[in-house]
């Protein structure tokens, strides 16, 4: 067992079921203890400092985010065992690794060289490839988070920076260590896998030289160099220098992915190891682990690889040996980065992307978790943006000016960073999520359906005055009300049912549901039976939408595992569409100019737009400051739009043809907005929204003003809304955590009949469907059931 220090007064003697036996160390986030499980297994336990909780950490969100780290395959990483709360402070339990940090080894023994440096490079990039494949970004990769043991290097603390960053309030600061941060991380921009590769390059430079590549003097000076200067890498061996140089490009899109670097390093190994690696990431991870542990001989330092037919990485502003520091991508790899499965960063679509807020470039999904792409798996990048291409003087000048402007802003905040808002990050964990309700279902074109969502614990901005109201058209008098449950409840899900969508398979009308048990189920509402159960997600499905692609019915789903999946409902086969860097809470699908399109929203406030015919992500937009809880397709005149509802209390409308926000932001809810639906009153398009304030608002999308007063009646969060037609009359259906489903007249702004107590524990999703040729309401909830409710018209 690693050396431990005696426990001090005030240290816990037990944490959950673990006995605390000693101290291993203390850092910026907390104290690391050695612990013993009930079966005698030794573990490492990191208990976060109480001051982090006092500055606004959201424990539930922290646990939910770090839990994702358990998906990381154990290749050169410390396995995450669990995560729990001790009072208000989270603690993380992980495998206890026998070893000393790279930071300490270099300080006491000097720089690494030869085979030791090679094994370090292979082992650490193997770990990053496994981490990125799980949809996680480390965010705090540095020498102190690399442990050197008898079986090679192990990377620790992956996934926790992301969780800590999202769980802290905005006033709590930035997560990371400046000397090993990427330019985009220093600037407060969106952090994705290329940021880890920048940090990996700096860590390799430190290992080879014994000093931080951008110095270790004043914080403003270090930040300036990170943003504006190139490090001296002349001390690195020839076989590593070109790779590190590529990773330290100031432009994230020019850096190679972890899998590409791993392939390149393995290509230089003995022939049998390279053959075993092939172009398959699983075998390469295994080969990388064995190489890092010394199971295969490392090559002697030699000249860089000879130029091949593929593109090269050659960052602008190369140093004195620029002609020698060119790195050829491994053979068989497409120029697009290996995690750019959706055609995002490597090959941006033509046309202007959605406008992003300052400092947040459009994001791109991670790549195929199944393994490395085969040659030709991706199209060539658009002209002028080939990763690694050396820009001409004009491009270089623009890049320099852009960074200079960024530096001015970054340096302004450097004193605040130095004052202690920068924090490093703990070990990784396990979490059993609460019954979170995150979803979105959507019918095609002007979808009139809305799935369910989870309450947000993140503080929201101050409330805004109620918007002006606009008049509403009259509606033909008639009485619509619930007429009892139609048949028995549909049972089959093992946990809460989060989202619903309806569509047709051939001539049969079906309902598709997604649940916390990770399954997608297809139901025949007329026959009251399950048709099929589909599996693919690793964890909860939060959102389901239905759409037709080339005449074939499909479902699009998003979930806790960060993935977006596309399901052919006819063949009942699913495939990965792409990744978000965080859980996907909302999905909508429809047709845009005749093309099938899906829009997905996540816990970072990002929207991704997907072309379902080409199976590619085409656009990304930073839409909100907080969770995107729901999405709904609709029409405003001739415009096809999608409406987003967020935990930041706002709604926004996005013109999918013109690729920009349409109209003003809707502000009226004084708490998180969980649900949204689109419909028409007469010829007039409308938007309905509901949320944590227990109220439903109806909006005119052309004016962004509310129509009439809010609808009141629910005693819990309004988690789902859907418009529908009953004998020519427009109705609005709502579902709430109070367990009831309500029917509303959106014109008269009054309830229709009495509410029905539909589900124990809460209603998570509702829709208006047709059963045996008659309109009905379908609902789903926490009690694991789907129910159908008859409607009566008099």
* Interhelix angle 59-67/160-167, nearest 10 degrees: 160
387 is written with which tokens?
């990763």
List the strands of the sheet with 563-568, edge to edge. Answer: 541-549, 552-559, 563-568, 573-579
Element of type H or E holding 689: strand 684-691
Exactly one of 58, 140, 157, 783 is catalytic; name it: 140
Residue 412: strand, helix, or coil: helix
Residues near 171 by beta carbon (within 8 Å), at least 6 away in sequence: 55, 56
Alpha helices (H) in 316-456, listed in sequence order: 393-412, 414-416
Report whether 238 contacts 302 (CB < 8 A): yes
Asked if 768 and 450 touch (Cβ cutoff 8 Å), the reply is no
Give the HSE-up count for residue 492: Cα atoms under 13 Å, Cβ half-sphere. 21
At residue 323's C-alpha, the angle toward residues 318 and 328, to 5°, is 95
3-state secondary structure of 9: coil
Q: Which residue has the tokens 């009072």?
A: 87
Q: H-type helices in 155-297, by residue range? A: 160-167, 183-186, 193-209, 219-228, 241-247, 258-267, 271-277, 281-292
Query: From the CA atom positions of the chain, what is the Rg in Å?
Result: 27
**315/319 Cα distance (integer angstroms):** 10
- Whether residue 501 contacts residue 443, with contact meaning beta carbons closer than 8 Å, is answered with yes
CA dist., res. 73 & res. 131, Å (int): 8
Inter-residue contact 517 to 534 (CB < 8 Å): no
Residue 39 Cα distances to 17, 19, 99, angstroms: 10, 11, 23
User: Nearest CA to 341 among 111, 571, 578?
Assistant: 578
Beta bridge partners of 541: 559
Q: How far apart are CA 411 and CA 287, in angstroms?
A: 43
Residues 6+ apart with CB under 8 A from 675: 450, 451, 452, 453, 629, 630, 645, 689, 690, 691, 718, 719, 720, 721, 734
Count the neighbouring beta carbons within 10 Å of the beta carbon of residue 13: 8
Do 525 and 770 form a contact (C-beta atoms < 8 A)?
Answer: no
Distance of CA 473 to the CA centre of its chain: 41
Q: Is 561 among the catalytic positions? A: no
Tally the residues of the chain. 794
43: CB partners within 8 A, 6+ apart: 18, 34, 35, 36, 37, 81, 93, 94, 95, 96
- According to DSSP, the β-strands at 763-771 and 563-568 are unpaired
Contact 428, 80 (CB under 8 A): yes
Cα(606)–Cα(618) distance, rounded to whole angstroms? 13
d(CA 571, CA 579): 23
- CB under 8 Å, gap of 24 or more: what pairs does 614-617 form? 614/343, 615/566, 615/575, 615/577, 616/342, 616/343, 617/341, 617/342, 617/343, 617/344, 617/364, 617/365, 617/577, 617/578
Task: Name the strand (E) or helix (H) holding 654.
Answer: strand 650-655
Q: What is the three-class DSSP state of 608?
A: strand
What is the set of active-site residues? 140
């Amino acid at each position: 067992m690693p050396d431990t220090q005696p426990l001090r007064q005030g240290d816990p003697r037990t944490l959950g079921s673990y006995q605390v036996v000693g101290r291993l160390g203390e850092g910026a986030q907390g104290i690391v203890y050695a612990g013993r499980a009930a079966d005698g297994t030794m573990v490492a336990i990191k208990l976060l400092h109480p001051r982090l909780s006092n500055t606004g950490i959201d424990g539930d969100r922290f646990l939910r985010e770090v839990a994702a780290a358990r998906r990381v395959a154990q290749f050169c990483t410390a396995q995450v065992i669990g995560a729990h709360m001790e009072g208000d402070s989270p603690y993380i339990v992980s495998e206890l690794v026998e070893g000393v940090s790279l930071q300490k080894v270099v300080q006491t023994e000097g720089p690494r060289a030869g085979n030791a440096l090679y094994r370090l490079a292979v082992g650490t990039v193997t770990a990053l490839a496994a981490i990125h494949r799980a949809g996680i970004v480390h965010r705090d990769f540095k020498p102190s988070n690399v442990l050197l043991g008898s079986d090679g290097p192990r990377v620790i603390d992956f996934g926790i920076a992301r969780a800590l960053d999202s769980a802290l309030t905005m006033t709590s600061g930035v997560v990371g260590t400046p000397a090993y941060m990427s330019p985009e991380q220093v600037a407060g921009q969106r952090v994705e896998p290329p940021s880890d590769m920048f940090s990996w390059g700096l860590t390799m430079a430190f290992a080879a030289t014994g000093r931080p590549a951008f110095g270790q003097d004043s914080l403003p000076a270090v930040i300036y160099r990170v943003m504006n200067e190139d490090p001296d890498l002349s001390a690195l061996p020839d076989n590593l220098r070109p790779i590190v140089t590529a990773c330290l490009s100031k432009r994230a899109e020019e850096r190679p992915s972890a899998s590409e670097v791993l392939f390149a390093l393995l290509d230089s190994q003995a022939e049998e190891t390279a053959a075993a690696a092939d172009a398959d990431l699983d075998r390469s991870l295994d080969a990388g682990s064995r190489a890092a542990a010394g199971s295969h001989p490392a090559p002697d330092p030699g000249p860089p690889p000879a130029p091949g037919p593929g593109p090269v990485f050659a960052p602008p502003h190369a140093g004195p040996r620029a002609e020698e520091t060119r790195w050829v991508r491994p053979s068989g790899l497409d120029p697009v980065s290996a995690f750019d499965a959706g055609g995002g960063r490597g090959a941006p679509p033509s046309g202007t992307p959605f406008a992003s807020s300052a400092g947040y470039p459009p994001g791109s999904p991670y790549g195929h978790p199944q393994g490395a792409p085969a040659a030709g798996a991706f199209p060539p990048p658009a002209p002028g943006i080939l990763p690694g291409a050396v820009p001409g003087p004009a491009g270089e000048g623009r890049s320099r000016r852009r960074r200079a402007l960024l530096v001015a802003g970054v340096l302004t905040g450097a004193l605040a960073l130095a004052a202690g808002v920068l924090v490093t990050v703990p070990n990784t964990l396990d979490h059993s999520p609460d019954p979170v309700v995150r979803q979105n279902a959507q019918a095609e074109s002007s979808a009139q359906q809305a799935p369910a969502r989870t309450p947000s614990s993140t503080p929201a901005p101050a409330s805004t005055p109620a918007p002006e109201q606009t008049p509403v058209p009259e509606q033909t008098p008639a009485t619509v009300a619930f007429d009892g449950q139609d048949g028995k409840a549909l049972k089959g899900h093992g946990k809460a049912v989060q989202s619903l969508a309806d569509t047709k398979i051939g001539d049969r009308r079906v309902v598709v549901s997604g649940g916390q048990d990770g399954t997608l189920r297809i139901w025949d509402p007329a026959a009251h039976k399950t048709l099929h159960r589909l599996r693919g997600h690793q964890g909860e499905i939060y959102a389901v939408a239905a759409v037709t692609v080339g005449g074939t019915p499909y479902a699009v789903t998003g979930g806790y595992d960060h993935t977006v999946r596309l399901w052919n409902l006819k063949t009942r086969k699913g495939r990965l569409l792409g990744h978000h860097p965080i859980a996907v809470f909302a999905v909508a699908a429809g047709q845009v100019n005749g093309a099938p399109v899906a829009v997905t929203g996540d816990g970072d406030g990002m929207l991704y737009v997907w072309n379902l015919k080409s199976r590619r992500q085409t656009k990304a937009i930073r839409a909100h400051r907080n969770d995107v809880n729901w999405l709904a397709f609709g029409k405003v005149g001739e415009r096809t739009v999608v409406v987003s509802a967020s935990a930041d209390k706002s709604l926004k409308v996005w013109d999918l043809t013109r690729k920009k926000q349409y109209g003003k932001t809707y502000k009226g809810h004084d708490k998180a907005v969980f649900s949204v639906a689109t419909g028409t009153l007469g010829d007039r398009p409308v938007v309905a929204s509901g949320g944590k304030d227990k109220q439903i608002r109806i909006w005119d999308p052309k004016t962004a003003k509310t129509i009439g007063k809010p609808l009141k009646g629910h005693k819990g969060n309004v988690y789902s809304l859907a418009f529908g037609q009953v004998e020519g009359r427009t109705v609005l259906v709502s579902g709430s955590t109070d367990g009831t489903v309500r029917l509303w007249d959106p014109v008269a702004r009054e309830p229709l009949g009495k509410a029905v107590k539909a589900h124990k524990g809460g209603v998570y999703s509702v829709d208006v469907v047709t059963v045996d040729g008659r309109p009905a309401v379908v609902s789903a909830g926490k009690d694991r059931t789907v129910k159908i409710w008859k409607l009566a018209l008099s």
